[in-house]
Amino acid sequence: MNAKRFIRPAIWFVMFVFVALMLNSFLSSGDDPEQVDTAQAIQEIDDGNVKSALITGGDVQRIELTLNNDDEIWAYYVEGQGLDLQNELQRQNEAGNLAEGYDVDIPQSNPWMAVLGTVLPLLLLVALIIFFLSRVQGGGGRVMQFGKNRAKLASKDAPKTTFSDVAGANEAIEELQEIKEFLQEPGKFQAVGAKIPKGVLLYGPPGTGKTLLARAVAGEAGVPFYSISGSDFVEMFVGVGASRVRDLFKEAKENAPAIVFVDEIDAVGRHRGAGMGGGHDEREQTLNQLLVEMDGFDVKTNVILIAATNRPDILDPALLRPGRFDRQITVGAPDLDGRHKILEVHARGKPLAPDVDLMAVARRTPGFSGADLANVLNEAALLTARGDAKIITPKFMDEAIDRVIAGPQKSSRLMKDEEKRITAYHEGGHALVAAALHHTDPVHKVTILPRGGALGYTMVLPDEDKYSTTRNEMLDQLAYMMGGRAAEELVFHDPTTGAANDIDKATTLARRMVTQYGMTERLGAIKFGSDSSEPFLGKEMGHQRDYSEEVAGQVDEEVRKLIETAHQEAFDILVENRHILDELVVALLEQETLNKEEIADLFASIEMHERRPAWTGSPTRKPSELGPVDIPVKVSTNGAEADHDEEGIIVAPEGPVTGQSTPSDQSMGS
């Protein structure tokens, strides 16, 4: 018979008896008569004022007297006085002074009861400590398992995620497929001398599907799959994390071949020696044990460690070397085709209208992660249910995209007509400047409806994904960002705080152009500043400037020059197309939101801004007088072809977005 099932009821019973005894002692003590000194009690007996008496012994020795006037008193007496009190009461009784006599109740002392009274409270205290420790550790039987691992073994009966449920990460799937094949057919690889990778690190931005890929590996592997979070190793007691690592790998080795998945490994794998912790804290002890288990003295292990993180820059170099994490797979934002496939996966089970084009949705969402795309479809379904509709229409899909990009619409926020007019000119300035430049993305939407923290926004999106951004594209982005501020100055001669976010973005981009991208003739292709600051002390606290005060002043001057030039370009464009700006504002005030086609009709007669002169590079080099060589060059990219554009720059067909792809916000304040 299992004794564990009786432990908890027994503990509760002992606790109940203990509490009952304490309550009985407390309640019974409240009914005692008046307490007097022993000398006063003896004096009452000598004076013949006592009608009856009771002498008790045991743990508490006391005499209780009932006086002739029916008052009750009592007093303590020491053991030596007990016999004297009995003799005095005997004498008074024989003299007829005790009307109701007296009684003596002094039990014979039992040594075992004294021992029990001493030991029982101690036993109860120990039982309570054991009980509460077991509750803290998650239930009975866990007290002695404090250093055991907390990894979860994937159940065979649980719903499985396979590689068919993952889209937009073809390269990662190919690498993980190889791991699956090695576990299923090791002889195929061993025949050519190949060794199984000991570790696979999945890293990339949040929401790109790293954990989903790990679940797919668990569903496809056909071997024991243990999953655990990096934070589960770390405790406040030094040595517990290392013990859990040892126990986890011991269990995995006993069931080898096996896969261990550690999510958010940066919680335990951070760079050693960084911050204020020193070398003996719990986290570093845990990391040291993990390093030994992955590639230590024992070389016959057949356990593969898969880890995920979105902070590979802070991981310890010893963890990333070959022999530990042999494969480091980037799981980035999906391209156009990947976004389309992800939308198809998440659209399963959702009633889409026939005119909902998922490819069009994919084109409108450059830079979105898989989690963002899943959120778009979920928001569309929620909006459909909220509107008591049965199918998801393009209207709900369009609103869902706007909600994910800029937040929910503030229908309760009422703006004055003058403030609406200012907002319309601000957003109209953005849209007009973007349309008049040669290297900006097309304008897809302009609205003056408040959404999220913005009073309105202008959405510019590329027609295809990009892998890089040119200098002219960034200069056009600066002018586009300053378009709202320039419109306010042109029309009202009184700028507002609505351009605060635009100025912040423009300043950040201009400073990167100067200090990181080397896109100024004065300073040349030199990087100013380093990214070697400690992430645990704060990015700025550990950062040291590696250039002089004179160069710092030149950097500030170049940043200011870029911003002022962009501001002037935006102002000139608005002056040249003032009549179109006014027409756009009238349409915005009437309709509040304009789509891509309506904007294109208004901008049909727009006067394009003149192109910038050719980039000459460093002032020590002479610009070429020949210009780009007029030779048709074609670059093969995944089966597609990309030609030189009219300025001789190779344009790739698809890729991730690196330029301006989100709407410019008009914040409510600076």
Q: HEC states along 361-408?
A: HHHCCCCCCHHHHHHHHHHHHHHHHHCCCCCECHHHHHHHHHHHHHCC
Residue 506 host element (H or E):
helix 500-515
The answer to whether the beta carbons of residues 101 and 84 sit under 8 Å apart is no
Domain of residue 449, CATH code: 1.20.58.760
Strand ranges in 250-300 using DSSP code E only, listed in sequence order: 258-263
Fill in the amino acid letter for 100: E
Q: 206 labelled as ligand-binding?
A: yes
Please report whether residue 649 resides in a domain.
no
Domain assignment present for 136: no
Q: Is the dihedral of CA 412, 413, 418, 424 positive or negative?
A: negative
Task: State CA 359 to chain mean position distance.
Answer: 30
| 430 known ligand binder | yes
CA distances from 25 to 19, 20, 28, 33, 107 (A): 10, 9, 5, 16, 19
Q: Per the annotation, does 426 bind a ligand?
A: yes
φ, ψ of residue 580 in degrees (nearest 5): -70, -35
Task: Kindly give the pairing relationship between strand 34-35 and strand 258-263.
Answer: unpaired
Clarify whether residues 63 and 198 are in a common domain.
no
pLDDT at 427: 93
Residues 38 and 26 in one domain: no
Residue 211 annotated as lining a ligand binding site: yes
Tally of CA atoms within 13 A in the half-sphere of 428 that contains its CB: 28
586 and 441 assigned to the same domain: yes
Residue 483 lies in a domain: yes
Residue 255 sits in the same domain as residue 344: no
Task: Show contacts of 61-67: CB within 8 Å, 24+ apart.
Answer: 61/106, 63/38, 64/33, 65/41, 66/100
Residue 57 contacts residue 103 (beta carbons within 8 Å): no
Last residue of a domain, one of 406, 436, 457: 406
How many whole angstroms separate alpha carbon 370 and alpha carbon 335?
Answer: 11
State the DSSP H helix or E strand holding residue 419, giving kind and residue range, or none if neither: helix 417-436
Mean pLDDT in each 10-residue stretch from start to end of the chain (670 residues)? 57 70 59 72 77 73 78 75 75 74 66 67 77 55 51 62 82 83 78 82 87 82 81 70 81 82 85 56 79 69 84 86 85 87 89 90 87 90 90 90 82 78 93 92 89 83 82 94 94 90 94 91 84 49 69 92 94 94 92 89 90 71 52 44 39 35 36
Question: In terms of C-beta density within 10 A (0-12 exposed, 13-18 middle, 19 or more buried), how is residue 96 classed?
Answer: exposed
First CA to last CA distance, the chain:
73
Is 615 inside a domain boundary?
A: no
Based on the domain organization, do 493 and 580 belong to the same domain?
yes
Active-site pick, 64, 284, 427, 488: 427
Query: For the domain that residue 389 is a member of, what is the CATH number?
Result: 1.10.8.60
Q: Are residues 354 and 321 in the same domain?
A: no
Q: Does the annotation place 502 within a ligand binding site?
A: yes
Provide the domain count of the chain: 5
Is the Cβ–Cβ distance between 340 and 360 less than 8 Å? no
Quote the CA–CA distance of 68 and 298 in Å, as a whole number: 94
Any known ligand binding at 57? no
| Residue 495 labeled ligand binder | no
Alpha-carbon distance of 475 to 478, in angstroms, equals 5
Per the CB < 8 A criterion, the answer to whether 206 and 310 are in contact is yes
Phi (first) and psi of residue 444, to 5 degrees: -100, -30
Paired tokens of 371: 């989690």
For residues 51 and 45, give the distance between their C-alpha atoms in angstroms, rounded to a whole number.
9
Is residue 623 in some structural domain?
Answer: no
CATH number at residue 261: 3.40.50.300
Q: Give the H or E element holding residue 120.
A: helix 111-136
**Helix (H, G, I), strand (E, B), or coil: what is residue 321?**
coil
| Nearest in space to 410 (alpha carbons), one of 455, 458, 457 | 455
Beta bridge partners of 594: 446
What is the domain-level CATH number for residue 38?
3.30.720.210
In sequence order, what are the residues at sequence separation of 6 or more whose Cβ sits closer than 8 angstroms to the Cβ of residue 505? 481, 664
Residues 471 and 586 grouped into a single domain: yes
The one-character DSSP state at 530 is: -
Is 173 in the same domain as 314?
A: yes
Q: Are residues 384 and 458 in the same domain?
A: no
Q: Which residue has the tokens 């179109």?
A: 580
Same domain, 25 and 40: no
How, if at all, do strands 634-637 and 199-203 pair?
unpaired
Contact 440, 609 (CB under 8 A): no
The last residue of one of the domains, among 378, 406, 434, is 406
| Within-domain flag for 137 | no
Q: Give 382-386's long-range contacts (Cβ < 8 A, gap of 24+).
A: none
Boundaries of domain holding 20: 1-30
- Out of 382, 406, 430, a domain closes at 406
Neighbours of 229 (CB within 10 A): 18
Q: Is residue 621 part of a domain?
A: no
For the stretch 399-404, contacts whose Cβ atoms lie closer than 8 Å and that sit 24 or more positions apart, written own/partner, are 400/376, 401/361, 401/364, 401/365, 401/376, 402/445, 402/451, 403/379, 403/451, 404/368, 404/372, 404/375, 404/376, 404/379
Task: Tell whether 38 and 180 lie within a shared domain.
Answer: no
Residue 616, in any domain of the structure:
no
Indicate if 16 and 39 belong to the same structural domain: no
Report yes or no: 483 and 446 within 8 Å, Cβ to Cβ. no
- Please confirm, yes or no, whether 564 is among the known catalytic residues: no
pTM: 0.65
